[in-house]
Amino acid sequence: NAGSALHLAKQAGQGNIRFFSHDLTEQARRRRTLEEGLHRALEREEFFLCYQPQLDLHGGATVGMEALIRWRGPDGQLVAPMEFIPLAEQTGQILAIGQWVLRQACRQGRAWHDAGFSTLQMAVNLSPCQFLQDNLPQLLDQVLLETGFPAHCLELEITEGVLMHDPVRAARMLAVLREMGVGFSVDDFGTGYSSLAYLKRFQLDRLKIDRSFVRDCCHDRQDGAIVDAIISLARNLGLDVIAEGVETASQLDFLRAQGCGLVQGYLFSPPLPASEVTGWLTSSIAARGPV
Ligand code: C2E
Ligand code: MG
Ligand code: MG
Ligand code: MG
Protein backbone atom coordinates (compact mmCIF):
# COMPACT_ATOMS: atom_id res chain seq x y z
CA ASN A 1 0.00 0.00 0.00
CA ALA A 2 0.95 3.64 -0.43
CA GLY A 3 1.80 4.12 3.26
CA SER A 4 4.39 1.40 3.44
CA ALA A 5 5.79 2.35 0.07
CA LEU A 6 6.30 5.85 1.36
CA HIS A 7 7.94 4.43 4.46
CA LEU A 8 10.33 2.38 2.35
CA ALA A 9 11.05 5.34 0.14
CA LYS A 10 11.87 7.38 3.23
CA GLN A 11 14.12 4.65 4.62
CA ALA A 12 15.98 4.64 1.36
CA GLY A 13 16.69 8.29 2.08
CA GLN A 14 18.97 9.98 -0.37
CA GLY A 15 20.27 6.63 -1.62
CA ASN A 16 19.40 5.23 -4.96
CA ILE A 17 17.15 2.45 -3.76
CA ARG A 18 13.65 3.47 -4.69
CA PHE A 19 10.46 1.62 -4.27
CA PHE A 20 7.21 3.27 -5.10
CA SER A 21 3.89 1.57 -5.28
CA HIS A 22 1.98 1.95 -8.50
CA ASP A 23 -0.28 4.42 -6.71
CA LEU A 24 2.54 6.72 -5.77
CA THR A 25 4.07 6.88 -9.22
CA GLU A 26 0.61 7.51 -10.61
CA GLN A 27 0.15 10.33 -8.11
CA ALA A 28 3.54 11.81 -8.80
CA ARG A 29 2.92 11.68 -12.53
CA ARG A 30 -0.49 13.30 -12.14
CA ARG A 31 1.04 16.03 -10.05
CA ARG A 32 3.77 16.71 -12.58
CA THR A 33 1.26 16.83 -15.44
CA LEU A 34 -0.92 19.28 -13.52
CA GLU A 35 2.03 21.43 -12.56
CA GLU A 36 3.20 21.66 -16.16
CA GLY A 37 -0.33 22.33 -17.34
CA LEU A 38 -0.81 25.08 -14.75
CA HIS A 39 2.22 26.94 -16.10
CA ARG A 40 0.53 27.53 -19.43
CA ALA A 41 -3.09 27.61 -18.29
CA LEU A 42 -3.35 31.38 -17.94
CA GLU A 43 -1.84 32.25 -21.31
CA ARG A 44 -3.88 29.52 -22.98
CA GLU A 45 -7.00 30.95 -21.34
CA GLU A 46 -8.00 27.62 -19.89
CA PHE A 47 -9.52 29.10 -16.72
CA PHE A 48 -13.05 30.35 -16.43
CA LEU A 49 -15.32 31.29 -13.57
CA CYS A 50 -18.65 29.86 -12.55
CA TYR A 51 -20.98 31.76 -10.24
CA GLN A 52 -23.13 30.28 -7.50
CA PRO A 53 -26.16 32.31 -6.36
CA GLN A 54 -26.42 33.40 -2.73
CA LEU A 55 -30.02 33.92 -1.63
CA ASP A 56 -31.63 35.98 1.06
CA LEU A 57 -34.05 33.71 2.91
CA HIS A 58 -36.44 36.51 3.80
CA GLY A 59 -37.41 37.70 0.35
CA GLY A 60 -35.89 34.88 -1.67
CA ALA A 61 -33.80 37.31 -3.68
CA THR A 62 -30.42 36.47 -5.11
CA VAL A 63 -28.21 38.97 -3.33
CA GLY A 64 -24.84 37.79 -4.50
CA MET A 65 -22.77 35.36 -6.46
CA GLU A 66 -19.70 33.42 -5.37
CA ALA A 67 -17.09 33.23 -8.11
CA LEU A 68 -15.60 29.74 -8.36
CA ILE A 69 -12.70 28.97 -10.64
CA ARG A 70 -12.80 26.20 -13.23
CA TRP A 71 -9.91 24.80 -15.22
CA ARG A 72 -10.32 22.90 -18.41
CA GLY A 73 -6.91 21.36 -18.96
CA PRO A 74 -5.16 20.76 -22.28
CA ASP A 75 -6.84 17.33 -22.57
CA GLY A 76 -10.27 18.96 -22.32
CA GLN A 77 -10.96 17.51 -18.87
CA LEU A 78 -12.11 19.70 -15.99
CA VAL A 79 -9.73 19.66 -13.03
CA ALA A 80 -11.33 20.29 -9.63
CA PRO A 81 -10.14 23.36 -7.71
CA MET A 82 -9.54 21.15 -4.68
CA GLU A 83 -6.87 19.47 -6.78
CA PHE A 84 -5.13 22.36 -8.52
CA ILE A 85 -5.55 25.24 -6.04
CA PRO A 86 -3.38 23.60 -3.34
CA LEU A 87 -0.80 22.80 -6.01
CA ALA A 88 -0.86 26.37 -7.32
CA GLU A 89 -0.38 27.56 -3.75
CA GLN A 90 2.72 25.41 -3.37
CA THR A 91 4.25 26.58 -6.64
CA GLY A 92 3.34 30.24 -6.14
CA GLN A 93 1.25 30.27 -9.32
CA ILE A 94 -1.77 31.08 -7.19
CA LEU A 95 -0.77 34.75 -7.16
CA ALA A 96 -1.14 35.15 -10.91
CA ILE A 97 -4.23 32.94 -10.97
CA GLY A 98 -5.80 34.79 -8.05
CA GLN A 99 -5.18 38.11 -9.71
CA TRP A 100 -6.89 36.85 -12.84
CA VAL A 101 -9.87 35.62 -10.75
CA LEU A 102 -10.22 38.96 -8.99
CA ARG A 103 -10.12 40.94 -12.22
CA GLN A 104 -12.46 38.59 -14.06
CA ALA A 105 -15.01 38.49 -11.21
CA CYS A 106 -15.05 42.29 -10.88
CA ARG A 107 -15.31 42.78 -14.64
CA GLN A 108 -18.23 40.34 -14.75
CA GLY A 109 -19.83 41.89 -11.68
CA ARG A 110 -19.66 45.29 -13.35
CA ALA A 111 -21.32 43.90 -16.47
CA TRP A 112 -24.20 42.53 -14.39
CA HIS A 113 -24.53 45.83 -12.55
CA ASP A 114 -24.71 47.57 -15.91
CA ALA A 115 -27.35 45.07 -17.03
CA GLY A 116 -29.59 46.34 -14.24
CA PHE A 117 -28.68 44.08 -11.30
CA SER A 118 -26.99 46.98 -9.65
CA THR A 119 -26.87 45.74 -6.05
CA LEU A 120 -25.45 42.30 -6.81
CA GLN A 121 -22.60 41.33 -4.50
CA MET A 122 -19.61 39.39 -5.76
CA ALA A 123 -17.82 36.99 -3.43
CA VAL A 124 -14.27 36.02 -4.35
CA ASN A 125 -12.14 33.37 -2.64
CA LEU A 126 -8.71 34.53 -1.59
CA SER A 127 -5.96 32.01 -1.03
CA PRO A 128 -3.78 32.42 2.07
CA CYS A 129 -0.72 33.66 0.18
CA GLN A 130 -2.80 36.18 -1.74
CA PHE A 131 -4.17 37.61 1.46
CA LEU A 132 -0.70 37.99 2.93
CA GLN A 133 0.72 39.76 -0.12
CA ASP A 134 1.82 43.23 0.86
CA ASN A 135 0.68 44.65 -2.46
CA LEU A 136 -2.87 43.27 -2.23
CA PRO A 137 -4.39 46.69 -1.46
CA GLN A 138 -2.70 48.23 -4.53
CA LEU A 139 -3.77 45.32 -6.70
CA LEU A 140 -7.34 45.56 -5.48
CA ASP A 141 -7.38 49.30 -5.93
CA GLN A 142 -6.18 48.90 -9.48
CA VAL A 143 -8.72 46.17 -10.30
CA LEU A 144 -11.63 48.16 -8.87
CA LEU A 145 -10.58 51.27 -10.74
CA GLU A 146 -10.03 49.41 -13.98
CA THR A 147 -13.30 47.46 -13.85
CA GLY A 148 -15.46 50.11 -12.20
CA PHE A 149 -16.88 47.53 -9.79
CA PRO A 150 -17.86 49.19 -6.48
CA ALA A 151 -15.73 48.09 -3.53
CA HIS A 152 -18.75 47.79 -1.24
CA CYS A 153 -20.20 45.08 -3.51
CA LEU A 154 -17.05 42.98 -3.27
CA GLU A 155 -16.79 40.36 -0.55
CA LEU A 156 -13.51 38.53 -0.05
CA GLU A 157 -13.66 35.01 1.40
CA ILE A 158 -10.80 33.98 3.63
CA THR A 159 -10.37 31.07 6.01
CA GLU A 160 -9.79 31.05 9.74
CA GLY A 161 -6.31 29.67 9.18
CA VAL A 162 -5.28 32.79 7.29
CA LEU A 163 -6.35 35.02 10.17
CA MET A 164 -4.61 32.89 12.76
CA HIS A 165 -1.36 32.36 10.90
CA ASP A 166 -0.19 35.89 11.64
CA PRO A 167 -3.01 37.67 13.47
CA VAL A 168 -1.29 41.03 13.73
CA ARG A 169 -0.53 41.17 10.06
CA ALA A 170 -3.97 39.83 9.15
CA ALA A 171 -5.68 42.48 11.27
CA ARG A 172 -3.63 45.18 9.58
CA MET A 173 -4.46 43.88 6.11
CA LEU A 174 -8.16 43.63 7.01
CA ALA A 175 -8.17 47.20 8.25
CA VAL A 176 -6.58 48.54 5.07
CA LEU A 177 -8.91 46.64 2.76
CA ARG A 178 -12.00 47.47 4.79
CA GLU A 179 -11.03 51.10 4.63
CA MET A 180 -11.38 50.71 0.86
CA GLY A 181 -14.93 49.44 1.41
CA VAL A 182 -14.43 45.73 0.73
CA GLY A 183 -16.26 43.17 2.91
CA PHE A 184 -14.93 39.95 4.43
CA SER A 185 -16.39 36.49 4.98
CA VAL A 186 -14.86 33.65 6.95
CA ASP A 187 -15.19 30.64 4.65
CA ASP A 188 -15.60 27.08 5.98
CA PHE A 189 -16.27 28.53 9.40
CA GLY A 190 -15.96 26.02 12.22
CA THR A 191 -13.41 23.77 10.53
CA GLY A 192 -10.27 25.76 11.29
CA TYR A 193 -8.93 27.12 14.52
CA SER A 194 -12.26 28.36 15.77
CA SER A 195 -10.59 30.64 18.24
CA LEU A 196 -13.66 32.64 19.07
CA ALA A 197 -11.71 35.38 20.81
CA TYR A 198 -10.35 36.40 17.42
CA LEU A 199 -13.78 37.09 16.01
CA LYS A 200 -13.83 40.11 18.26
CA ARG A 201 -10.43 41.28 17.20
CA PHE A 202 -10.88 41.03 13.44
CA GLN A 203 -13.35 43.24 11.66
CA LEU A 204 -15.43 40.82 9.63
CA ASP A 205 -18.80 40.94 7.93
CA ARG A 206 -19.95 37.38 7.54
CA LEU A 207 -19.46 33.79 8.66
CA LYS A 208 -19.98 30.98 6.16
CA ILE A 209 -21.12 27.84 7.92
CA ASP A 210 -19.10 25.00 6.46
CA ARG A 211 -21.13 22.55 4.46
CA SER A 212 -19.89 19.60 6.52
CA PHE A 213 -22.12 20.90 9.36
CA VAL A 214 -25.01 21.78 7.08
CA ARG A 215 -25.03 18.31 5.51
CA ASP A 216 -26.31 16.49 8.60
CA CYS A 217 -27.77 19.38 10.57
CA CYS A 218 -31.24 17.85 10.71
CA HIS A 219 -30.16 14.27 11.47
CA ASP A 220 -27.14 14.69 13.66
CA ARG A 221 -27.80 16.44 16.96
CA GLN A 222 -24.21 17.64 17.24
CA ASP A 223 -24.07 19.11 13.76
CA GLY A 224 -27.44 20.72 14.36
CA ALA A 225 -26.15 22.22 17.60
CA ILE A 226 -23.04 23.56 15.88
CA VAL A 227 -25.06 25.19 13.11
CA ASP A 228 -27.40 26.67 15.69
CA ALA A 229 -24.46 27.97 17.73
CA ILE A 230 -22.75 29.57 14.72
CA ILE A 231 -25.98 31.34 13.77
CA SER A 232 -26.45 32.72 17.31
CA LEU A 233 -22.80 33.65 17.54
CA ALA A 234 -23.00 35.59 14.30
CA ARG A 235 -26.21 37.30 15.33
CA ASN A 236 -24.82 38.32 18.71
CA LEU A 237 -21.63 39.64 17.16
CA GLY A 238 -23.59 41.59 14.57
CA LEU A 239 -22.28 39.51 11.66
CA ASP A 240 -24.15 38.10 8.67
CA VAL A 241 -24.27 34.35 8.42
CA ILE A 242 -24.60 32.22 5.30
CA ALA A 243 -25.00 28.45 5.12
CA GLU A 244 -23.15 26.79 2.27
CA GLY A 245 -23.90 23.44 0.67
CA VAL A 246 -27.66 23.54 1.25
CA GLU A 247 -29.00 20.56 -0.69
CA THR A 248 -32.35 19.61 0.81
CA ALA A 249 -35.61 21.23 1.85
CA SER A 250 -35.23 19.88 5.39
CA GLN A 251 -31.82 21.52 5.74
CA LEU A 252 -33.42 24.73 4.54
CA ASP A 253 -36.27 24.41 7.05
CA PHE A 254 -33.80 23.82 9.84
CA LEU A 255 -31.70 26.84 8.83
CA ARG A 256 -34.73 29.04 8.52
CA ALA A 257 -36.03 27.97 11.92
CA GLN A 258 -32.65 28.84 13.47
CA GLY A 259 -32.77 32.28 11.88
CA CYS A 260 -30.11 31.86 9.20
CA GLY A 261 -30.45 34.80 6.80
CA LEU A 262 -28.54 33.66 3.74
CA VAL A 263 -28.11 30.39 1.88
CA GLN A 264 -26.15 28.92 -0.97
CA GLY A 265 -26.24 25.40 -2.37
CA TYR A 266 -27.37 22.91 -4.98
CA LEU A 267 -30.95 23.13 -3.68
CA PHE A 268 -31.13 26.53 -5.34
CA SER A 269 -28.49 26.34 -8.00
CA PRO A 270 -25.09 24.82 -8.80
CA PRO A 271 -22.32 27.22 -9.80
CA LEU A 272 -23.44 28.59 -13.18
CA PRO A 273 -21.42 29.58 -16.22
CA ALA A 274 -21.52 33.35 -16.72
CA SER A 275 -23.79 32.98 -19.74
CA GLU A 276 -26.58 31.56 -17.56
CA VAL A 277 -26.44 34.14 -14.78
CA THR A 278 -28.51 36.90 -16.40
CA GLY A 279 -31.27 34.37 -17.02
CA TRP A 280 -31.08 33.22 -13.41
CA LEU A 281 -31.21 36.78 -12.06
CA THR A 282 -34.12 37.71 -14.30
CA SER A 283 -36.21 34.69 -13.35
CA SER A 284 -35.36 35.03 -9.67
CA ILE A 285 -36.75 38.57 -9.75
CA ALA A 286 -39.80 37.39 -11.72
CA ALA A 287 -40.42 34.58 -9.21
CA ARG A 288 -40.51 37.08 -6.37
CA GLY A 289 -42.81 39.42 -8.18
CA PRO A 290 -42.20 43.15 -8.51
CA VAL A 291 -39.58 44.44 -6.07
P1 C2E B 1 -15.55 27.02 -1.13
O2 C2E B 1 -15.10 28.41 -1.32
O3 C2E B 1 -15.99 26.62 0.23
O4 C2E B 1 -16.69 26.81 -2.20
C5 C2E B 1 -17.81 25.99 -2.03
C6 C2E B 1 -17.65 24.70 -2.79
O7 C2E B 1 -18.81 23.89 -2.55
C8 C2E B 1 -17.60 24.85 -4.29
O9 C2E B 1 -16.79 23.79 -4.79
C10 C2E B 1 -19.04 24.63 -4.72
O11 C2E B 1 -19.19 24.21 -6.06
C12 C2E B 1 -19.43 23.54 -3.76
N13 C2E B 1 -20.87 23.50 -3.50
C14 C2E B 1 -21.76 24.51 -3.58
N15 C2E B 1 -22.99 24.11 -3.23
C16 C2E B 1 -22.89 22.81 -2.89
C17 C2E B 1 -23.84 21.83 -2.42
O18 C2E B 1 -25.02 22.08 -2.25
N19 C2E B 1 -23.33 20.59 -2.16
C20 C2E B 1 -22.02 20.27 -2.34
N21 C2E B 1 -21.62 19.03 -2.06
N22 C2E B 1 -21.10 21.18 -2.77
C23 C2E B 1 -21.54 22.43 -3.05
P24 C2E B 1 -15.66 24.05 -5.89
O25 C2E B 1 -16.12 25.05 -6.88
O26 C2E B 1 -15.20 22.71 -6.35
O27 C2E B 1 -14.51 24.74 -5.04
C28 C2E B 1 -13.87 24.07 -4.00
C29 C2E B 1 -12.98 24.99 -3.23
O30 C2E B 1 -11.90 25.46 -4.05
C31 C2E B 1 -13.67 26.26 -2.74
O32 C2E B 1 -14.39 26.00 -1.56
C33 C2E B 1 -12.48 27.17 -2.54
O34 C2E B 1 -11.85 26.90 -1.32
C35 C2E B 1 -11.56 26.75 -3.66
N36 C2E B 1 -11.72 27.70 -4.78
C37 C2E B 1 -12.65 27.72 -5.77
N38 C2E B 1 -12.46 28.77 -6.60
C39 C2E B 1 -11.40 29.46 -6.09
C40 C2E B 1 -10.71 30.66 -6.49
O41 C2E B 1 -11.05 31.35 -7.46
N42 C2E B 1 -9.63 31.03 -5.73
C43 C2E B 1 -9.24 30.31 -4.63
N44 C2E B 1 -8.16 30.74 -3.93
N45 C2E B 1 -9.86 29.19 -4.23
C46 C2E B 1 -10.94 28.77 -4.95
MG1 MG C 1 -15.79 30.18 -0.76
MG1 MG D 1 -20.61 44.24 2.35
MG1 MG E 1 -16.63 26.93 1.96
Distance CA 278, CA 53 (A): 11
List the residue whose alpha carbon is closest to atom 6 of ligand 1: 245
CA of 159 to the centre of ligand 2 (A): 9
Of 47, 68, 90, 264, the one to substitute when testing ligand 1's pocket (max ligand atoms within 8 A of C-beta) is: 68
Evaluate if residue 14 carries a pLDDT over 60: no
For residues 92 and 129, the answer to whether their CB atoms sit within 8 Å is yes
Atom from ligand 1 closest to the CA of residue 94: 44
Q: Please give the model's pTM, rounded to 2 decimal places.
A: 0.91
Question: What per-residue confidence (pLDDT) applies to 5?
Answer: 47
Distance CA 63, CA 120 (A): 6
Give the range among 10-19, 65-74, 92-101, 163-172 with minimum mean pLDDT.
Answer: 10-19
Evaluate if residue 257 carries a pLDDT over 70: yes
Question: What per-residue confidence (pLDDT) applies to 152?
Answer: 98
Atom from ligand 1 closest to the CA of residue 267: 18
Evaluate if residue 291 carries a pLDDT over 50: no
Mean local confidence (pLDDT), 270-288: 90
More confident residue, 103 or 1: 103
Structure confidence by residue, pLDDT tens digits, 211-222? 999 999 999 999
Identity at 207, one-letter amino acid code: L
Query: What residues line ligand 1, using a CB cutoff of 6 Å?
Result: 52, 68-69, 80-82, 85, 98, 101, 125, 127, 157, 187-188, 211, 244-247, 265-266, 271
Distance CA 132, CA 156 (A): 13
Evaluate if residue 22 carries a pLDDT over 80: no
Confidence of residue 243 (pLDDT cuts 50, 70, 90): very high
140, exposed or middle or buried, with CB in 10 Å at 0-12, 13-18, 19+? buried
Distance CA 173, CA 166 (A): 11
Evaluate if residue 290 carries a pLDDT over 60: no
Question: What per-residue confidence (pLDDT) applies to 1?
Answer: 46
Atom from ligand 1 closest to the CA of residue 130: 44
CA of 33 to the centre of ligand 4 (A): 27
CA of 179 to the centre of ligand 3 (A): 12
Mean of the per-residue pLDDT values for the chain? 90
Residues 6+ apart with CB under 8 A from 193: 160, 161, 163, 164
Atom from ligand 1 closest to the CA of residue 210: 3
Q: What percent of the chain has pLDDT over 70?
A: 89
